Amino acid sequence: MKEGLKIVLSGPSGSGKGTIVKELIKNEQFLLSISVTTRQPRQGEEEGVHYFFKTKEAFEKMIAQDELLEYACFCDNYYGTPKAFIEESVKKGKDVILEIEVQGAQQIKEIYPDAIFIFVIPPSLAELESRLVGRGTEERNIIDQRLKRAKEELALYTTYDYIVVNDRLVEAIEDINRIVGAEKLRSCHYAAEIEEIIHN
């Protein structure tokens, strides 16, 4: 069986990566890597489905025991990615999606150079602002902080392999499926097939 892909999906807060992930994982080919966080659950968020919610102390213990692929502190909360689940899942042939904050994505590149890095961006800053306001869960000063951060993060686009502009959700999903489909055709995945053809 061919090993699955590791797909890092990242982008500024409000770029809509969460919505994209929710849509993608309706397809059984994909499996979501569940993150650990110290932030408070938003309405409707469930433990073990959206995040593992931990105290700051518990999170820092995971860091100390090297159980995390990456972690980042963002708006005073920790976010991190447990390693074991990812590696077991790709061995089973699943394409694992890692939804990661921009800071964290940079760290993953060093550990998983074969991962595919997709940067989800909003069509404009005005649209980003309206999404953050519409969410209705953040204070105005937090929104301003996120907009400022978004500009800084957008400048990091060259560190990603692909850009997906999340204007219409259905098109963003198509783009990602196209990227994943093409990545599976990379020559590095064809050693077994070529051997088979040459020697039979």
What whole-number distance in Å separates Cα of residue 98 and Cα of residue 2? 19
Would you say 10 is a known binding-site residue?
no
* 3-state secondary structure at position 68: strand
Would you say 187 is a known binding-site residue?
no
Would you say 48 is a known binding-site residue?
no
- C-beta of 37 vs 166, nearer to a second copy: 166
Would you say 122 is a known binding-site residue?
no
- C-beta of 56 vs 157, nearer to a second copy: 157
- C-beta of 30 vs 59, nearer to a second copy: 30
- Shortest distance in whole angstroms from residue 190 CB to a second copy: 5
Would you say 13 is a known binding-site residue?
yes
DSSP 11-49: --TTSSHHHHHHHHTTSTTEEEEPEEE-SPPPTT--BTT
What whole-number distance in Å separates Cα of residue 36 and Cα of residue 153? 22
Return all residues near 140 (Cβ < 8 A) that are at least 6 apart: none
End-to-end CA distance of the chain: 20
Would you say 82 is a known binding-site residue?
no
Binding site for a second copy (CB under 8 A): 119, 121-125, 151, 154-155, 157-165, 175, 178-179, 181-183, 185-190, 193-194, 197-198, 200
- Shortest distance in whole angstroms from residue 17 CB to a second copy: 15
* 3-state secondary structure at position 78: strand
- Shortest distance in whole angstroms from residue 50 CB to a second copy: 27
- C-beta of 84 vs 198, nearer to a second copy: 198
Taking CB atoms within 8 Å and a gap of at least 24, the contacts of 54-60 are 54/78
- C-beta of 56 vs 151, nearer to a second copy: 151
| Under 8 Å between Cβ of 130 and 136 | no
- Shortest distance in whole angstroms from residue 41 CB to a second copy: 31
- Shortest distance in whole angstroms from residue 92 CB to a second copy: 23
77-82/68-74 β-pairing: antiparallel
What residues are designated binding site? 11-18
What residues are designated binding site for ATP? 11-18
